[in-house]
């Protein structure tokens, strides 16, 4: 059995056990709802922490009880047993014809999602996983579920971590449906599908979420917002990042390579100078900030060269990356503004590379056979390799220029921050293996064009601008 399936089985078993404990110990859930302990998040289904006992009234089984039992059956069947798993999915989906399923599915999904937050996942991660593993429709349903689940956290409580709130805003999560009993009707109309099809999609989504493995907790979930569990981005960093974003956006939109090169160089100049200034300020004030992390999607096709490109941007900006290939993302580990700057730079470089690929068009051999895929694979590998070389050289030049200005004390400060980043990687990724993959280059033309594109995209004259 592959590592991915093993992780999913362990996660689904953990989720199933948590659901069973919730039903077997209903007094805990109702105690949390009335403020008698628990996770302090306002969600009565949270199984994290302790709680006082308030007995739940007993009565006939509701549609929610039936759906919980059906989802337990789905989660209990191994994915490899396709026939049984398909039958369990169909039985759970059939319940969507019953009255009250809109409210029931949102409640059950909220319970699953709350556990997912405690496994380290974030809103953007959940929607990305739903789209990657299933379909775009499942991503929209995941956004609906996130909107519904976040109603459990009153606005008068401690505000969400600003990075978490930014993800919610980017995903446009909102409870657009009004009453929960009307949700399925509205969702079916939006998706232009029959209720049975929508029900199947919902069961598939909850099955996927139940099997998501535990990953590093990069920021506090909603129920722990304000706890200081993860570093926050200070307001003083926002203007620099806004300038970088603006410069890179212009670099992506211009039709003139020289202008794009100058804009990208200026953006990198701001990032590098800010990183050095922040390191010196922290050392002077002894603020002892700790590194954090940002997850960046690495999507098919050509994931390996894209991951290598991200690694190049991270290394140049005093960060490290860990590629979780089977989950579809890399984690950029570094100090807050550095990690966010890496994400901006990578996105811009990838946009520029993809624009060059689009301009190159499809490729064919003389006999008419297509070699577009091998061309693009080789192009991106060459692009990433050349970018890594030029960024590394530019970083060395920038550091040397700063050392001349600030003296020999700069290098120990930067070395200390590098050790902190390495330590954070070791803490979060205890079983890390260094196997990014071999460089798969089979197209000489693609390699040559990718190298040329990297030369156009990058940073001539950068060291002089810093003096």
Phi then psi for residue 335, to 5 deg, are: -70, 155
3-state SS string for 154-181: CCCCCCCCHHHHHHHHHHCCCCCCCCHH
- Does residue 91 contact residue 71 with C-beta atoms inside 8 Å? no
The pLDDT score that the predictor gives to residue 233 is 44
Cα 306 to Cα 283: distance, rounded to the nearest angstrom: 34
Q: How far is CA 443 from the centre of its chain?
A: 32
Task: Give the pLDDT confidence score for residue 283 in this predicted structure.
Answer: 85
Residues ≥6 apart with Cβ < 8 Å to 323? 298, 307, 310, 311, 330, 436
Give the bridge partners for 296, in sequence order: 330
Question: What is the distance, to the nearest Å, from the Cα of residue 241 to the centroid of all Cα atoms in its chain?
Answer: 19
CA 206 to chain centre: 18
pLDDT of residue 47: 52
Report the alpha-carbon distance of residue 76 to residue 73 in Å, rounded: 5
Strands 320-324 and 292-297: unpaired
pLDDT score for 209: 96
* Terminal-residue alpha carbon distance, the chain: 57
User: What pLDDT score does 450 carry?
Assistant: 58
Q: Count of alpha carbons within 13 Å of 13, Cβ hemisphere only?
A: 7
Query: Distances in Å between the alpha carbon of 78 and those of 213, 272, 329, 398?
Result: 15, 49, 25, 54
Instruction: Determine how many CB atoms are found less than 10 A away from the CB of residue 362.
Output: 10
Burial annotation 165-190 (CB, 10 A radius, 16+ → b, else e): eebbeebebeeebeebeebbeebbee
Phi, psi of 40 (to 5 degrees): 60, 25
pLDDT string in tens for the chain (467-residue length): 455 556 666 666 666 566 555 544 444 443 444 444 455 555 554 555 544 444 545 556 899 999 999 999 998 888 889 999 999 999 999 999 999 999 999 999 999 999 999 999 999 999 999 999 999 999 999 999 999 999 988 765 668 888 899 999 999 989 999 999 999 999 999 999 999 999 999 999 999 999 999 999 999 998 886 554 444 444 444 587 888 888 888 888 888 777 877 787 777 777 877 888 888 888 888 877 899 999 999 998 999 999 999 999 999 999 999 999 999 999 999 999 899 889 989 999 999 888 888 887 777 776 667 777 888 888 899 888 888 887 787 778 878 888 888 888 899 999 999 999 999 999 999 877 665 444 455 555 555 555 666 666 644 333 333 23
Query: Would you list the DSSP string of 312-369?
Result: HHHHHTT-EEEEEGGGTEEEEEE-HHHHHHHHHHHHHHHHHHHHHHHHH---B-TTS-
Q: Are strands 320-324 and 329-334 parallel, antiparallel or unpaired?
A: antiparallel
Is the preceding peptide bond at 301 cis, omega within 30 degrees of 0?
A: yes
Q: Are 153 and 117 in contact (CB under 8 A)?
A: no
């Amino acid at each position: 059995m592959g590592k991915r399936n093993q992780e999913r089985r362990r996660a689904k078993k953990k989720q199933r056990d948590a659901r069973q404990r919730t039903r077997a110990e209903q007094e805990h859930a109702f105690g949390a709802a009335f403020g008698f302990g628990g996770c302090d998040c306002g969600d009565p289904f949270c199984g994290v922490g302790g709680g006082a006992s308030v007995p739940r009234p007993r009565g006939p089984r509701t549609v929610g009880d039936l759906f919980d039992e059906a989802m337990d059956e789905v989660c209990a069947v191994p994915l490899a047993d396709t026939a049984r798993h398909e039958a369990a999915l169909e039985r759970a989906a059939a319940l969507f014809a019953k009255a009250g399923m809109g409210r029931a599915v949102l409640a059950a999904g909220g319970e699953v999602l709350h556990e997912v937050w405690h496994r380290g996942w974030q809103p953007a991660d959940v929607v990305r996983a739903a789209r990657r593993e299933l379909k775009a429709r499942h991503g929209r349903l995941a956004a609906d579920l996130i909107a519904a689940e976040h109603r459990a956290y009153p606005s008068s409580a401690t505000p969400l971590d600003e990075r978490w709130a930014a993800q919610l805003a980017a995903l446009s999560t909102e409870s657009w449906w009004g009453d929960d009993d009307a949700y399925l009707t509205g969702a079916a109309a939006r998706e232009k599908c029959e209720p049975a099809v929508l029900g199947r999609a919902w069961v598939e989504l909850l099955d996927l979420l139940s099997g998501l493995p535990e990953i590093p907790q990069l920021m506090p979930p909603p129920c722990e917002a304000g706890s200081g569990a993860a570093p926050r981005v200070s307001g003083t960093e926002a203007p620099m990042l806004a300038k970088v974003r603006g410069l890179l956006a212009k670099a992506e939109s211009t039709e003139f390579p020289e202008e794009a090169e100058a804009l990208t160089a200026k953006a990198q100049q701001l990032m590098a100078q800010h990183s050095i200034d922040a390191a010196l300020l922290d050392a002077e004030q002894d603020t002892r900030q700790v590194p954090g992390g940002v997850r960046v999607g690495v999507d098919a096709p050509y994931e390996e060269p894209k991951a290598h490109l991200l690694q190049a941007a991270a290394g140049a900006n005093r960060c490290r990356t860990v590629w979780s290939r089977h989950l579809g993302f890399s984690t950029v580990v570094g100090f807050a503004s550095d990690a966010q700057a890496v994400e901006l730079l990578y996105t811009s470089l990838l946009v520029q590379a993809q624009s060059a690929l689009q301009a190159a068009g499809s490729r064919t051999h003389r006999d008419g056979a297509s070699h577009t895929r091998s061309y693009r694979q080789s192009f991106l590998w060459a692009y990433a390799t050349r970018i890594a070389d030029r960024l590394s050289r530019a970083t060395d030049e920038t550091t040397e220029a700063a050392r001349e200005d600030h003296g020999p004390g700069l290098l120990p400060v930067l070395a200390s921050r590098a050790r902190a980043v390495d330590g954070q990687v070791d803490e979060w990724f205890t079983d890390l293996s260094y196997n990014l993959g071999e460089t798969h280059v089979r197209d000489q033309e693609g390699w040559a064009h990718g190298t040329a594109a990297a030369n156009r995209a990058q940073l001539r004259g950068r060291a002089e601008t810093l003096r």
